[in-house]
Amino acid sequence: MVQHMSKRLAAQDWLDFALATLAREGFDALKADVLARKLGVSRGSFYWHFADLGAFHVCVIEHWKKLATEAIIADIEQHESREARLDALLRHAFGRGAALEIRIRVWAENNAEAASALGDIDRRRRDYIEQLLVEAGIVQPLAATRAQLLYWAYLGAAWSRTRLTGERLDRTVAELKQIALVPAVRRS
């Protein structure tokens, strides 16, 4: 993806390209000179939009937060029923590649801003799953426990670089929904 010098890059162009580069190559590639060279522009274009590399990294992380969580939640909330929302969430989580998710988690091991953002995202995602389960009639604290288990299943699939499709995705989603929504067993 090489831009022509005649086309001025907006900050959004830099952020989108940074996320694509991060997913492919990791956080070490998120340097002004490396990205500028790949985009076919001067480093001046980078510094026109970002004060320094640290400020750029903060913007990249914020952009990821919006795309990886808030945009997905907004999309899921378009579904009418609670079951359809849970189904959409699980299909999104297990039916797509997670290269960017893994790269962000590796970056967070070496970057305080990424680590902080990741903590916020993990909480936001678990809270949203928990909210879906509570709305479906699962009582607290069982909803919180099941939300955590579903999230761990997602992270395990992400780390295994497993992307499910077709019948395998259908079976996995059906099983996870059953596990998530089974009524609590009364202990006597």
Residue 5 domain flag: no
How many independent structural domains does the chain possess? 1
Q: What is the CATH number of the domain that holds 98?
A: 1.10.357.10
Contact residues for 161 (Cβ-Cβ < 8 A; gap 6+): 97, 98, 99, 102
* Distance of alpha carbon 92 from alpha carbon 71, whole angstroms: 12
Closest CA to 62 of 122, 103, 118, 125: 118
Does 2 reside within a domain? no
Please answer whether residues 143 and 130 qualify as being in contact, where contact means their C-beta atoms are separated by less than 8 angstroms: yes
Q: Is residue 187 part of a domain?
A: no
Whole-prediction pTM value?
A: 0.86
How do the pLDDT tens digits run along the chain, 188 residues long?
Answer: 544 444 678 999 999 999 999 999 999 999 999 999 999 998 999 999 999 999 999 999 999 999 989 999 999 999 999 889 999 999 999 988 789 999 999 999 999 999 999 999 999 999 999 999 999 999 999 999 999 999 999 999 999 988 888 999 999 999 999 999 998 776 65
